[in-house]
Amino acid sequence: MQSRTITALLAAVAATALTVGSATAQDNKTVRIGNLSDQSGLYADLGGPGSTLAAQMAIEDSGLVAKGWKIDVIAGDHQNKPDVGTNIARQWYDVDKVDVIVDTPNSGVALAVNQVTREKNKAFLNSGAATSDLSGKACSPNTVHWTYDTWMLAHGTGEAVVKSGGDSWFFLTADYAFGHALERDTTEVVKANKGTVTGAVRHPLNTADFSSFLLQAQSSKAKIIGLANAGGDTTNSIKQASEFGIVAGGQKLAALLLFLPDVHALGLQVAQGLTFTETFYWDMNDQTRAFSKRFSERMKNKMMPSMVHAGVYSAVLHYLKAMEALGGNPGDGAKVVAKMKEMPTDDALFGKGTIRADGRKIHPAYLFEVKKPAESKGPWDYYKLVATIPADKAFRPAAEGGCSLVK
């Protein structure tokens, strides 16, 4: 009997808590941002602590704190394991009152977090993950895919390589969602341009010794070895390819995804001549230079921002603008994301842009080439611009992605 009264009492308390919660929702000016990233592994340099800083800078630049908002960022390490990522996301949403998760490189983790975010009706602003499924098959009203994706990489880099004569390909693919998506999207591009794909070898995420995979690629006799991997995996495969005389033997490497920290780690001597696609480079104009200077001064290792960091900054800034427009935190992720899609984006790093119904952020992409050591004028002067891909050509047309939000 007594236990039943206690249960009833608890239920009543819970019910009051709920109603109180909803009554104050509109004037709730508290926002908590969670940077769920690889904080210590092979993607830590391109996302990781830099993304926390980028989010922090966006909060400062939004000017909302001066208007009485309370906004903070917490960081979590998903260790590139989807189950760890899901656990953190769930706990952040359930217990720690996180409203939005940002960054999240590693497509496998991102797809999992995408799902949890939708279930809990929060928001997910992805900058670090590549898989184009985030705005395709797996699209969600709670998710915006900000910076880049595999379709963009495949069309930017892949097309350029095939058109310059690299018409037979062999892939060295990171064996998880990201690598598979990048290999798939690039294969389509190669075939559409009358090229052939002779095969692929899959390597585990975070591999150190690529020798046996490289030998397989070598014996394929393909003209181009497409690296469908990222971060430390890409830099390792490029270094070892030169060790095993693959480039000297006449085959070419196509790094489908290369970030600024990767080029920095490789050094210009090894990296020179690589062509690849990104959507942000620190040395584009005065505004990007000013942001990057501020950013690198606050980074522990004085690193310049990667495009993932830039994307986190820009995404958080726009998210907070939408919050302000709503007049408070409604505690409803889909509502905020809908508002974000409604408002045009405009910031110092990516310029003017939009967010499509499928959650794809639209902006131009750039085909870069790594400079020769002699061309570089100073530290971090690594890229030269080869071509600009206009915003309307850079990303997959909404109708082709298979997203259920697109009618």
Partner 1 sequence: MQALYGQLVVGLINGSFYALLSLGLAVIFGMLNIINFAHGAFYMMGAFAAYFLLNWAGLGYWWALLLAPLMVGAVGVLVERTMLQWLTGLDHLYGLLLTFGLALVIQGVFQNEFGSSGLPYAIPAELRGAQNLGFMFLPNYRAWVIVFSLVVCLATWFVIERTKLGAYLRAATERPELVRAFGIDVPRMITLTYGFGVALAALAGVLAAPINQVRPLMGADFIIVVFAVVVIGGMGSIMGSIVTGFALGLIEGLTKYFYPEASSTVVFVIMAIVLLVKPNGLFGRTA
Partner 2 sequence: MTSATHAAPGSAPPAAASGRLGARAEILAFLVMAGLLAALPLTGLIYPYFLMQALCFAIFACAFNLLIGYVGLLSFGHAMFLGTGGYIAAHSAKVWGFPPELAILAGLLAAGAIGTLVGLLAIRRQGIYFAMTTLALSQMVYFVYLQAPFTHGEDGIQSVPQGRLFGLFDLSQQQTFYYVVLAVFLIAFLLIRRIVNSPFGDILKAIRENEPRAISLGYRTERYKLMAFVLSATLAGLAGSVKALVAQNASLTDVHWTMSGEVVLMCLVGGLGTIFGPVIGAVVIIAMQQYLAGFGQWVLVIQGVIFIACVLAFRRGIVGEIIAFAQWRGAEKR
* Sites of contact with partner 1 (CB under 8 A): 39-42, 44-45, 79, 201, 206, 208-209, 211-212, 215-216, 218-219, 231-232, 236, 243-246, 248-249, 265
Q: Does 121 bind partner 2 (CB under 8 A)?
A: no
Shorter beta-carbon distance to partner 2: residue 174 or 241: 174
Q: Does 111 bind partner 2 (CB under 8 A)?
A: yes
Minimal distance, residue 62 CB to partner 2, in Å: 26
Site for partner 2 in 3-42 (CB under 8 A): 6-7, 10, 14, 39-40
**Burial of 281 per CB tally in 10 Å (0-12, 13-18, 19+):** buried
Angle between helical axes of 82-94 and 107-120 (0-180°, round to 10): 30
Helix (H) or strand (E) holding 235: helix 231-243
Q: Does 239 bind partner 2 (CB under 8 A)?
A: no
Minimal distance, residue 37 CB to partner 1, in Å: 12
Q: Does 83 bind partner 2 (CB under 8 A)?
A: yes
**What residue 108 binds from partner 1, partner 2, none (CB within 5 to 8 A, per partner kind)?**
partner 2
Q: Does 91 bind partner 2 (CB under 8 A)?
A: yes
**What residue 1 binds from partner 1, partner 2, none (CB within 5 to 8 A, per partner kind)?**
none
Shorter beta-carbon distance to partner 2: residue 104 or 292: 104
Residue 350 near residue 310 (C-beta atoms within 8 A) = yes
Adjacent-strand bridge partners of 33 = 73, 100
Minimal distance, residue 115 CB to partner 2, in Å: 5
Shorter beta-carbon distance to partner 2: residue 202 or 239: 202
Q: Which of 300, 205, 305 is nearest to 259 (CA)?
A: 305
Residue 254 near residue 157 (C-beta atoms within 8 A) = yes
Minimal distance, residue 203 CB to partner 1, in Å: 10
Site for partner 2 in 247-286 (CB under 8 A): none
Shorter beta-carbon distance to partner 1: residue 181 or 241: 241
Q: Does 130 bind partner 2 (CB under 8 A)?
A: no
DSSP annotation string for 268-332: HHHHTT-EEEES--TTSSHHHHHHHHHHHHHSTT-PPPPHHHHHHHHHHHHHHHHHHHHTS--S-
Q: How many other β-carbons are positioned within 10 Å of the β-carbon of residue 27?
A: 9
Shorter beta-carbon distance to partner 1: residue 157 or 220: 220
- What token pair was written down for 290? 């000013």
Minimal distance, residue 50 CB to partner 1, in Å: 13
Minimal distance, residue 68 CB to partner 1, in Å: 38
Rounded to 5 degrees, what are φ and ψ at 330? -75, -5
Shorter beta-carbon distance to partner 2: residue 10 or 25: 10
Q: Which of 300, 324, 281 is nearest to 61 (CA)?
A: 324
- What token pair was written down for 64? 């909302």
Contacts of 4 (CB under 8 A, 6+ apart): none
The letter for the amino acid at 322 is A
Q: How far is CA 233 from the centre of its chain?
A: 16
Shorter beta-carbon distance to partner 2: residue 131 or 251: 131
Q: In the complex, which residues of this chain contact partner 2 (CB under 8 A)?
A: 6-7, 10, 14, 39-40, 77, 80-84, 86-88, 90-91, 94-95, 108, 111-112, 115, 175-177, 204-205
